[in-house]
Amino acid sequence: MKNIEILENGVYLFPFTAEAAMMIHLLNEYNVPVYGVFDNDSSLWGKQYCDAFIEKPMFSCEELIVICGHRHYGYLEKFNKSVKIEYLVTKEDTDFAINKIDLESFGKLAPRQRLRARRLYNDIYQVLIPDEIYKKESPVILNVINLSITTRCTLRCRDCSDLMQYYKNPGHIPIGQIFSDMNVIFNSADFVRNLTIVGGEPLLYKELPQLLNFIKGFRYKIGVIWITTNGTLQASNDLLQAAKDCGAMIRISDYKDKSAKKMELFSACEKAGVMSEIINFQDYMWRPEKQPEYGTHTQDKQDKFDACQSRIICNTLYNGRFSYCEFIAHMEDLKAIPYDPDNSLSVKQCNKKTITKYLSRRTSPSACTYCSGGNIHNMPPVEPAIQTKTSLPYRDFKETYH
């Protein structure tokens, strides 16, 4: 970590999440004092993680350095109107941002990768990239890979952001296919900041422990590994052991009464030494990109592409194809958008050159015509996990595929 002296006077974290726990360990490695962790949950106040106590949020000093997640930034001002954030690197998902510190000082990003998303790449995962990566000629550094392993789920959410609501016959991706795809991608990329295992519901995938053991072989190329789950299932002992061995974190979505096993799973993770967190969606969530009524979106597809966050933070590896986002991945799989070879890459085509060219392109793919837009700030909030009894209908473009 470069210029660590910027942090030598110590920091606070906000709030207490799996990422915060990870950051405590990282900062401790560099002898940076972590004074405490602010959190809104009063039941956590006074508890201790490592040497840091969890405290009630109190921001009364302009010089206080606080590391926080973008989605929690509003709380900083809510709890103390006098707090002034002089510098904040924003990232449009739940990852860390940090005030008063120019994270570019921690190292340089691959020039092509910061072509259109400079502000998104200046996040805390920067410090996780080994310095030797930058010594390589034109390193390929991927921000996020969402590894989609199944379309089966224990819920059928009307507004699922991974578009599971459209599958009539959901199924698992064969583990051999996943191994093959990952071999190609990780032999093409020098580093992946965030590998997230998604579904459907990943805990339905019986071979998930074997998959995690396979991923462990690429651990030196990965910043953090997340497994997302909806809190309806308990994890097997084999899965918990595999998650611990490869340093994976389990993120549990809290859909209130629908996530009936969330506390049981959280406790099992704690007992097994697996880092986990419960994500409370409270009363709303952002509307996902879902198949629109055709012809109703008048915004130019290039404008949508330019403003899109999903193409930066939702790169998806699914069933032999690598795409910008889960919308393209699953709409192609369902044949719910017209076939266009430029929408995604066949994994067989993937190498350093083709991945870099694909991710740095400036012109929008045709898939953007059918997307309602991948910018969360333009999406109205909806109640999370509203269930539908049957799969939702969609327009079929099967005749364009061959």
Q: What is the pLDDT of residue 284?
A: 52
156/163 Cα distance (integer angstroms): 10
Q: What is the pLDDT of residue 210?
A: 98
Residue spans of alpha helices (H) in 52-207:
73-79, 118-121, 131-134, 175-188
On whether both 191 and 307 belong to a single domain, the answer is yes
The count of domains in the chain is 2
Q: DSSP 3-state assignment of 318?
A: strand
Task: Give Cα 303 distance to the centre of its chain.
Answer: 24
Dihedral sign for Cα atoms in the order 180, 184, 187, 193: negative
Where among 107, 130, 162 does a domain terminate?
Answer: 107
24/11 Cα distance (integer angstroms): 10
Q: What is the pLDDT of residue 62?
A: 47
On whether both 308 and 383 belong to a single domain, the answer is yes
Q: Could you read off the pLDDT tens digit of each residue along the chain, which spans 402 residues?
A: 444 555 666 777 777 765 566 667 667 777 778 888 877 667 678 877 777 888 877 655 445 566 665 455 555 555 444 444 433 333 332 233 333 333 332 233 333 332 322 333 334 445 456 777 877 888 898 988 999 999 999 999 998 888 999 999 999 999 999 999 999 999 999 999 889 999 999 999 999 999 999 999 999 898 889 999 999 999 999 999 999 999 898 999 988 899 999 999 989 998 998 888 887 765 555 554 444 444 344 457 787 787 777 787 889 999 999 999 999 999 999 999 999 999 999 999 999 999 999 998 888 899 888 887 655 555 666 788 899 999 998 888 888 887
On whether both 256 and 353 belong to a single domain, the answer is yes
Question: Is residue 272 in a domain?
Answer: yes
* Interior angle at CA 24, CA 186 and CA 146, nearest 5: 30
On whether both 101 and 144 belong to a single domain, the answer is no
On whether both 69 and 176 belong to a single domain, the answer is no
Question: Is residue 134 in a domain?
Answer: no
230/304 Cα distance (integer angstroms): 29
Q: Where are the beta strands (DSSP E) in 235-323?
A: 248-254, 276-280, 285-286, 316-318, 321-323
Q: Name the token pair of 395.
A: 């327009």
For the chain, how many residues are written? 402
Where among 107, 130, 149 does a domain terminate?
Answer: 107
Dihedral sign for Cα atoms in the order 346, 351, 352, 357: negative
Rg of the chain taking only CA atoms, in angstroms: 21
Q: What is the pLDDT of residue 58?
A: 66
Q: What is the pLDDT of residue 150?
A: 98
Closest Cα to residue 98, out of 135, 134, 72? 72
Q: What is the pLDDT of residue 303?
A: 78
Question: Is residue 373 in a domain?
Answer: yes
Where among 64, 89, 107 does a domain terminate?
Answer: 107
Q: What is the pLDDT of residue 311?
A: 82
One-letter amino acid at 154 equals: T
DSSP type of residue 366: G
Q: What is the pLDDT of residue 302?
A: 82
With left for phi above 0 and alpha for psi between -120 and 50, is residue 87 left, alpha or beta?
A: beta
Question: Is residue 135 in a domain?
Answer: no
128/30 Cα distance (integer angstroms): 12
Could you tell me if 90 and 119 are in contact, meaning their C-beta atoms sit under 8 angstroms apart? yes
Question: Is residue 121 in a domain?
Answer: no
Could you tell me if 397 and 338 are in contact, meaning their C-beta atoms sit under 8 angstroms apart? yes
Q: Domain of 308: which CATH number?
A: 3.20.20.70
Domain span at residue 76 reads 4-107
On whether both 351 and 272 belong to a single domain, the answer is yes
